[in-house]
Copies of this chain bind each other. A is one copy, B any other.
Amino acid sequence: MPPYLPPDAHRPLTLRDVSDASGVSEMTVSRVLRNRADVSPATREKVLAAAKALGYVPNKIAGALASQRVNLVGVVIPSLANMVFPEVLSGISDGLEASGLQPVFGATDYKPEREENVIYEMLSWRPSGMIVAGLEHTDPARAMLSNSGIPIVEIMDIDGEPIDSMVGISHRRAGREMAQTILAAGYRRIGFLGTKMPDDHRARKRLQGVTEALAEAGTALAATEHYAGGSSMGKGREMTAAILERVPDLDFLYYSNDMIGAGGLLFCLDQGLDVPGQIGLAGFNGLELLDGLRMRLATTDACRREIGQRAAQIVAGISDDGVIGAKRIELSPRVEIGDTIRG
């Protein structure tokens, strides 16, 4: 008969409570609840019944401290508002599925100091691995990650040196390839429109790629338009109006993402411009969300979901190539011509 317990409104239950209720030692209760095989069916039944009846929820904090194992993977991304990252996250969830690891997300708002802080906070929970967007971090952030002794995967971008592993695409190459596609289609007066430049390193690298490819072809961007703040179709409209006002003879607009590109496309169509004859357009990301537009915007697919999956697999120690250790995986984005570049 269990000892009398004062009705304590909200003390969380412990293994001890389940032990008392089932008449089995704490240790054996622990074994049952961790699904270990070396427990007799009868005992198992008794324990599970007691645990369920009490509504016991294990304390993972204590478990983690005792076992020195934490089934969490920290995931650090710039922003959830960006449309791009939710898909990466869902790829990560997928890739982690079978591993028993749980992702924990943190956002940095594209601010290096915030990133440093988020990384610090996450590492202090001793996760089993970390997935971090981008290759650019503060020195302390790099040091913390590097010293943590856990798998670190930097994602999205591969133009740089990783701390440990990296999975992503070359944004420079994406920029180059789009520029080459644009030139091959015969466009000559090219404008670039982007948001949040200073700390959006990937957009910066795409711009760099474009610039290089144009230089190699003996030309250069005819105009650029930058804007701070989030991306929306409305923003794309405004920027497009502004750049065409400043430089009316542009025949191509390359946007740093599909959302503002879609706004630009709608603007051009509303203005009665001939797309893609008179003016061509391209974005970046391959957002499916937008395929209801009258024309399919040319874009580069950023392989977001696959990046998440592969990164998760690395953290989980699942390698499809059989190689263990730091990995560098470059995915190859496809340029999609859509309907806004003339064939």
Q: How large is the interface on A (under 10, 10 to 19, 20 to 34, 35 or more residues)?
A: 35 or more
A236 contact set on B, CB distance < 8 A: 292
CB distance from A177 to the nearest CB of B (A): 26
Tell whether, in the assembled complex, residue A292 and residue B149 are in contact, meaning their CB atoms are under 8 Å apart.
no
Tell whether, in the assembled complex, residue B55 and residue A61 are in contact, meaning their CB atoms are under 8 Å apart.
no
Q: For the complex, is A259 an interface residue (Cβ under 8 Å from B)?
A: yes
A267 contact set on B, CB distance < 8 A: 292
**Segment with Cβ contacts to B, from A101-109, A199-207, A214-222, A278-286:** A101-109
CB < 8 Å: which of B126, B148, B149, B237 contacts A61? Answer: B126
Tell whether, in the assembled complex, residue B125 and residue A60 are in contact, meaning their CB atoms are under 8 Å apart.
yes
CB < 8 Å: which of B60, B124, B294 contacts A124? Answer: B60
Tell whether, in the assembled complex, residue B144 and residue A57 are in contact, meaning their CB atoms are under 8 Å apart.
yes
Instruction: Please judge, given known A-B contacts A62-B65, A65-B65, A266-B294, whether A57 and B90 are in contact too, CB under 8 Å.
Output: no
Number of copies: 2
CB < 8 Å: which of B93, B104, B105, B123 contacts A57? Answer: B123
CB distance from A145 to the nearest CB of B (A): 10
What 0/1 pattern do residues 217 to 253 of A give for CB contact below 8 A with B? 0000000000000001111110000000000000000
Tell whether, in the assembled complex, residue B57 and residue A149 are in contact, meaning their CB atoms are under 8 Å apart.
no
Q: For the complex, is A161 an interface residue (Cβ under 8 Å from B)?
A: no
Give A291 to B262 CA distance when docked, in angstroms.
11
Tell whether, in the assembled complex, residue A55 and residue B143 are in contact, meaning their CB atoms are under 8 Å apart.
yes
CB < 8 Å: which of B9, B57, B144, B289 contacts A233? Answer: B289
A93 contact set on B, CB distance < 8 A: 107
